[in-house]
Amino acid sequence: MTTLPKPRQPELKTSLPGPKTAAIMERDSQHLSTSYMRPYPFVPDHGEGVWLTDVDGNTMLDFFAGIAVSTTGHAHPHVVRAVQEQVTRFTHVCLTDYPQEITTSLAERMVRHVEKPGEKWRVFFGNSGAEAVEAAVKLARNHTGRSHIISTIGSFHGRTYGAITLTGSKTKYKRGFGPLLPNVSHVPYPNPFRPPLGATAGTCGQAVIDHIEGLFQTIIPADEVAAIIIEPMQGEGGYIVPPADFLPKLRSLCDRHGIMLIFDEVQAGMGRSGKMYSFQHFDGQNGMNCQPDIITVAKGIASGMPISAMLAKESVMTWPVGSHGSTYGGNPVAAAAAHATLDLLEGVVKHPGCGDSLMENAAQVGEFIMAELKAMQVEFPFIGDVRGAGMFIGIEFVMPDGRPDGKLRDAASMAMFERGLLNLDCGEAVIRISPPLILTREEAATGLEIMRDALRTLK
C-alpha cells in the first residue's frame, strides 16, 4: 500500500511574535504613520505560492492574499520573470504623454472581457483602487454635466477625498477629515442575510430600487444624478452578494434616468469570484442585463504590483485631451505583472494543479470551501452565514439571538492566526476568505482543518 505524502502544513518555529518580528514591530511603531493598524504580529520575509514565511522562520498559510491582491500567490515564477524582463528594458516614461505597447496591449486585453458586439470600451490606468474610483467619478460628472453621486451603506471605495466621501462602511474613515465632497448620498445595500428597509431576503433588491426612486421624488432630483457607484459584491462591508434581480434592476433604473452605473470591482474583480468581473454572475441571467457604464479594478490585477484601471464605454469616455492623467499610472513594470497575471487567470499559461485557468480554479476550489464551511455551521451554530462566489467568501459570526458577534469573530480570527492561518476580518462580524487563486483543494482542506481546530476552542 502506498501512503500519500502529508500535505504541507504551517510551521511555527517560535511563539508569535518571534524575537525578530517583535524587534521590527517595535521600530515600526516608532517611525511609521500612527494611522497604520497592526492587528497581527507577522513580518513577512519571503513567500512561495500560498505560503508566507516571517523573519523568524514561521511559515503561514495565506488565506487573505494581502486583501485579495496576491492573485497568483507569492513570487510566482511567471510574474517574477515578466517583471524582471521589463525592468531591464525601461521602468518609466509616463503614459499620460507617451504611448507604450505594454499598456496598449494590456488595455486591449482587459476590454475583451467586457466588450459586447457593437460596443467599444476604453481604459484609463492609475496606481490604486482609490485613483480608479476618483477617475470614474470625475468621468461620470464630466460626461453627464451632473454632480450628484449615489453610493451604498457598507461600501468601501478608498481613502482619497472623493473615495472616503463615497465610502459608507465606517465613520472612522471620515471623522476629523471634513469637509468632504458635496452632493453624495448613500442608500442601503441589499444584504439578503440582514435585509434593509423591512424587506426579506427575496424582496430586498426591489426594496432598495423603490427607495432610490422615492429619493428621486422627494430629495434628490434624478436629472442631477451623475452616477450610482456600487460594489457588485460588497467587500469591506462584509463580503455580501446581492440578490440576483438587484443589479439588472439597478441598470434599468439608471437607464430610466440617464445615470451612469459604476461597478467598483476593485476587491471582487479580476477572477476572484470565478468570473473576470463579479457583476458577470448576474449579467445575462434570465435575459436580464446589468452591463455597467464604468468599471474600476485594482488589487488582484497585477499580483501586488501597483496598477489600477478605470474602464468605460467609448460613448461615455468623452472627457477632453489633457483633462485627466497620472505620472506613474500604467507603469510598464506593473503592466508586465498584469499581463503575466492575466496569462494565468485566462489559462494562456497554466499553473500546475489548477485546471485550465486560475479563474476556473477560483470557481471550483471556492465551491469546495463554501460547501465545507456550510457543513461546519452544524458543529458551530455561531456561524450565522456563509456566502460568496469563487474565492470571495465571507463567514459571519452571530450571537445566539442572531445579532452580529464582532468579539467572537475577533477571537476566531486570532485563534486561526495563532495556528498559522493568515486571515482578515471585514464588516461587523465577518472573516473574509480571499486566498491566492492558485490555492489547491488540498491546501484549502489544510486551511479548513486549521479553522475547525481554532473554532473548537471558542465553543
Ligand X SMILES: Cc1ncc(COP(=O)(O)O)c(C=O)c1O
Is the previous residue joined to 192 through a cis bond, with omega within 30 degrees of 0? no
Binding status of residue 69 toward ligand X by CB under 6 A: no
Burial zone of 244 (CB within 10 Å; 0-12 exposed, 13-18 middle, 19+ buried):
middle
Closest separation between CB of residue 131 and ligand X, Å?
Answer: 7
Size of the site for ligand X (CB under 6 A): 15
Binding status of residue 236 toward ligand X by CB under 6 A: yes
Among positions 50, 130, 342, 373, the unique one binding ligand X when judged by CB under 6 A: 130
Nearer to ligand X, 231 or 346 (CB): 231
Looking only at residues 7 through 26 of this chain, which bind ligand X when binding is defined by CB under 6 A? none
Nearer to ligand X, 236 or 443 (CB): 236
Binding status of residue 434 toward ligand X by CB under 6 A: no
Among positions 18, 47, 126, 129, the unique one binding ligand X when judged by CB under 6 A: 129
**CB proximity list for 441: less than 8 A, separation 6 or greater:** 364, 365, 368
Nearer to ligand X, 233 or 415 (CB): 233
Do residues 229 and 137 make contact, with C-beta atoms less than 8 angstroms apart?
Answer: yes
- Alpha-carbon distance of 146 to 136, in angstroms, equals 14
Nearer to ligand X, 236 or 405 (CB): 236
Binding status of residue 432 toward ligand X by CB under 6 A: no
The 3-state DSSP class for residue 446 equals helix
Binding mask 84-123 for ligand X (x = CB under 6 A): ----------------------------------------
Do residues 141 and 234 make contact, with C-beta atoms less than 8 angstroms apart?
Answer: no
**CB proximity list for 69: less than 8 A, separation 6 or greater:** 299, 300, 303, 304
Binding mask 292-331 for ligand X (x = CB under 6 A): ------x---------------------------------
Closest separation between CB of residue 168 and ligand X, Å?
Answer: 12
- Alpha-carbon distance of 104 to 87, in angstroms, equals 18
Residue whose C-beta lies closest to ligand X: 129
CA dihedral 358, 364, 367, 371 (to 10 degrees): -130
Among positions 188, 235, 332, 420, the unique one binding ligand X when judged by CB under 6 A: 235
Binding mask 136-165 for ligand X (x = CB under 6 A): --------------------xxx-------
Nearer to ligand X, 123 or 454 (CB): 123
Look up residue 116 and give its three cell numbers. 459586447
Binding status of residue 270 toward ligand X by CB under 6 A: no
CA dihedral 63, 68, 71, 73 (to 10 degrees): -40
The window from 11-19, 52-60, 127-135, 249-257 that contacts ligand X (CB under 6 A) reads 127-135
Binding status of residue 266 toward ligand X by CB under 6 A: yes
Closest separation between CB of residue 232 and ligand X, Å?
Answer: 10
Task: For 303-345, give the DSSP string.
Answer: TTS--EEEEEETTT--PPTTSS--SSTT-HHHHHHHHHHHHHH
| E-assigned strand segments in 324-429 | 383-389, 392-397, 421-422, 424-426
Nearer to ligand X, 158 or 447 (CB): 158
Binding status of residue 263 toward ligand X by CB under 6 A: no
**CB proximity list for 298: less than 8 A, separation 6 or greater:** 126, 128, 129, 131, 132, 266, 307, 308, 309
The 3-state DSSP class for residue 49 equals strand
Residues that bind ligand X (CB under 6 A): 67, 128-130, 133, 156-158, 231, 235-236, 264, 266-267, 298
